[in-house]
Amino acid sequence: MIFEQYYLECLSQASYLIGDEMTGKALIIDPRRDISQYLRTIENHNLNLEWILETHFHADFVSGHLELADKTGAKIGLSSKAKAEFNFVTLEDGYLIQLGEIACKILHTPGHTPESMCILVNKGTFAEEPWAIFTGDTLFIGDVGRPDLLVSVDQSAEELAGELFNSVHNVIMALPDETIVFPGHGAGSACGKKLSTATSSTIGEQRLTNYAVQSRDRETFIELVLADQTTPPKYFSHDASFNQEIRPLYDEKEKLNTINFENIPSDAVILDTRTPEEFAMGHLDNSINVGLEGRYAEFVGSLINFHTPIVIIANPNEEAEARMRLARIGLDNIIGYVPAPYELLRSSTANVSQSSRITCFETKLMLEKNSDLQVVDVRNESEISENGAINESIAIPLPQLHSSLNKLKAEKTTIVYCASGYRSSIAASLLRSKGFTDVSELIGGFPAWKICKTSS
């Protein structure tokens, strides 16, 4: 067997290639949109890609099934419960794909979505015990896929959670303990709430450690998996639909246009992908800072509409990476990037601002002197409940900030904080672009505030 797991840290997303060395037949499960890494594996092992299998219509990224099918001629396989604009093979429950000595069986596992399926793989025939199961977003390491993303118009979250119970307990957990589990996501993904950093496990280990698997009562299971789910990024509903459509193919080799500062359209968003520290020292007015080193695409997709033109500001030679990571979630309206950004910042001082960044001690003094101060906490609800918050701060998780501006007053002195400074830089830059005139970021976030309070 030729086996490859491709793990994308910035989206916590896993895709897989399985190939038979003797026959050269191969399939890929849940590919991402930039497909060059799969093509290299195929070429290096002299494989013939026969199948592209999608475990479901993904909400958190744009799949590369159309790009791979275009390059290789492979068939796209979806659950027989799926509906899509493009040509695909409908795979019934129990459908068998034979790759030489490797047998792959389709298991329908609705719950995360109605069309969710898993792929059970054996290195020989199914007279023997299975080798591994590829669970997509049905079963994660430590968790199960959330059934509340509302990508189905026909079923409620409770109904999907009930189907998920059946899929997990009656299908997946019926497998032998030794069966390896390869999930579609790991820790950091908004597709679940308690995902492990591990990228594989076994059925036996999940039986002992996964809270949802341990919930043998149907009603308790439904209650647990629906409780305390974070607000999904705004782009999820778009991507779930986008993955069902015939859409433009992404070309990794396409060059990104350069655009002069004077020619940036008035309706475009200037997206500065440098670090919060670099952004703070000087940036173009009204630009939004989402640092490339973090969960960049996820946050951009929560703040910028899909049809809004985007102009990228990036450190030299990072503009292509910035574009590619946006393409992975379907943000394709990148009209160009500004070349030589530091020269522009030096020469266009009338259009350049610096961010206000203050220490925890300065924040403490401001709170003591100004009772009308507006303090905004952009962490998730779970972070606040677990770690606490600054008294009387307004809690608005970053993915909700754009749609919650009416909860804030633009004329007030505002301090924004998160857990480190990454999200607060995004939030502060967004507020300034929306007309907030006096916005500062708390350096070091809430951990710095706790140290300040302890030492005072």
Do 124 and 222 sit in the same domain of this protein? Answer: yes
In a domain, 349, yes or no: yes
- Low-confidence stretches of the chain (pLDDT < 70) are 125-127, 150-153, 455-456
Residue 452 has what pLDDT?
Answer: 84
The number of distinct structural domains making up the chain is: 3
Residue 126 has what pLDDT?
Answer: 60
Q: Give dist(CA 406, CA 403) in Å, integer.
A: 8
DSSP 146-206: -S-S---SSS-HHHHHHHHHHIIIIIGGGS-TT-EEEESB-TT-TT-SS--S-S-EEHHHH
In a domain, 203, yes or no: yes
The residue range of the domain holding 306 is: 261-353
Do 46 and 186 sit in the same domain of this protein? Answer: yes
Residue 388 has what pLDDT?
Answer: 94
Q: Is the dihedral of CA 269, 274, 277, 283 positive or negative?
A: negative
Could you give phi then psi for residue 415, rounded to 5 degrees? -120, 130
Could you give phi then psi for residue 212, rounded to 5 degrees? -75, -40
Residue 425 has what pLDDT?
Answer: 96
Do 272 and 173 sit in the same domain of this protein? Answer: no
Do 142 and 55 sit in the same domain of this protein? Answer: yes
CA atoms within 13 A on the CB side of 410: 12
Do 274 and 179 sit in the same domain of this protein? Answer: no
Residue 279 has what pLDDT?
Answer: 96
Residue 229 has what pLDDT?
Answer: 83
Do 390 and 372 sit in the same domain of this protein? Answer: yes
Do 341 and 380 sit in the same domain of this protein? Answer: no
What is the reported pTM?
0.92
Do 207 and 190 sit in the same domain of this protein? Answer: yes
Q: Give dist(CA 407, CA 416) in Å, integer.
A: 14
Do 167 and 64 sit in the same domain of this protein? Answer: yes
